[in-house]
Amino acid sequence: MGTKILGTGVYLPKEVLTNEDLEKLVDTSDEWITTRTGIKERRIARRESVVEMATKASRDALSDAGVKPEELDLIILATLTPQMRFPSTACLLQAQLGAGRVYAFDVSAACSGFLYALDVADSFIKSGKANRVLVVGAERLSEAVDWSDRSTCVLFGDGAGAVVVGKSRDGSDILASRMYSDGSLKELLYADACGYIRMKGRELFKHAVRSMDEVCREVLSLAGVKPEEVDLVIPHQANVRIINALAEKLGIPKEKVFVNIERYGNTSAASIPIALHEAVREGKLKRGDLVLLTAMGGGLTWGAMLLRF
């Protein structure tokens, strides 16, 4: 018995903030942002709360999976922008969805949050403690960005993505995964006393490429799969140069690497489920494909997961 992604969903705020718009806010240029990051625009949640975005993405995923909210056993939500200190955003989501009185909790692992959450969901399914799990990544990073700091405000965007996972009897499965943390590197990426994101970009860049390369290799080796056998890589969308460097190190051609950072920027825990949903919708990810997910974020945290979709 394996773990299968039964359905995917997203919510992206309508409001678009382009690089040209940012040129009016801080001393930057479309040329700098595009060449250094690959980002052209991002979405901004002016009116939507993180719970509203999570709810819309979850309804989309539940409908895609053909699962009713009351059939869920567990809700795991990854975010670094929780709506309240407590209750958890997962509990607020449970109420909005009208799910039963299910087990619901948040995961805090910054940009690796969705992978951490999906890994926990996999353990619940495989141990038999849950049959249907909703896993959500939702972020309202526009509220965690210092809009006067050009080194960070150009990077982030808002949005939510969700998947419903359940038992598989058709060969779909999470074949291998590894998650890591190293809190001694916390000063590379953290929220300051005002809650604003601060980062040492250049050092993080190197850590991101190295750690994701290592953990991807480890996961492939655990599953006995060669890099060339992977059909699609869906990396966390932090910087297209990180993604390209990772693909080159792994020896996986760019055509097999999913990138949508130009439209959404870095949406932290939401980036992988949004990309996963778009990959399915665009026909780039089909049932039976081998897909490699990987992320690195504040903590530091990082991880990778290989799925038979």
Task: List active site positions.
Answer: 111, 236, 266
Q: Is 238 near ligand ACO (CB under 6 A)?
A: yes
**In whole angstroms, what is the distance from residue 162 CA to residue 65 CA?**
11
Q: Which is nearer to ligand ACO, 33 or 120 (CB)?
A: 33
CB of 40 to ligand ACO, least distance (A): 14
Q: Is 99 near ligand ACO (CB under 6 A)?
A: no
What is the SS3 assignment for 302? strand
CB 158 within 8 A of CB 140: yes
Which token pair is 177?
A: 């995964």
DSSP 112-136: GHHHHHHHHHHHHHHHTS-SEEEEE
Q: Which amino acid would we find at residue 127?
A: S
- Interacting residue with ligand ACO among 183, 202, 251, 255 (CB under 6 A): 202
- Interacting residue with ligand ACO among 111, 125, 215, 216 (CB under 6 A): 111
Single out the segment in contact with ligand ACO by CB under 6 A; choices: 32-40, 71-79, 176-184, 278-286: 32-40
Q: Which is nearer to ligand ACO, 8 or 37 (CB)?
A: 37
Within residues 171-190, the interface with ligand ACO by CB under 6 A covers 189
Range 136-154 burial, b when 16+ CB lie within 10 A, else e:
bbbbbbbebbbeeebebbb
- Interacting residue with ligand ACO among 2, 87, 201, 227 (CB under 6 A): 201
Q: Is 297 near ligand ACO (CB under 6 A)?
A: yes
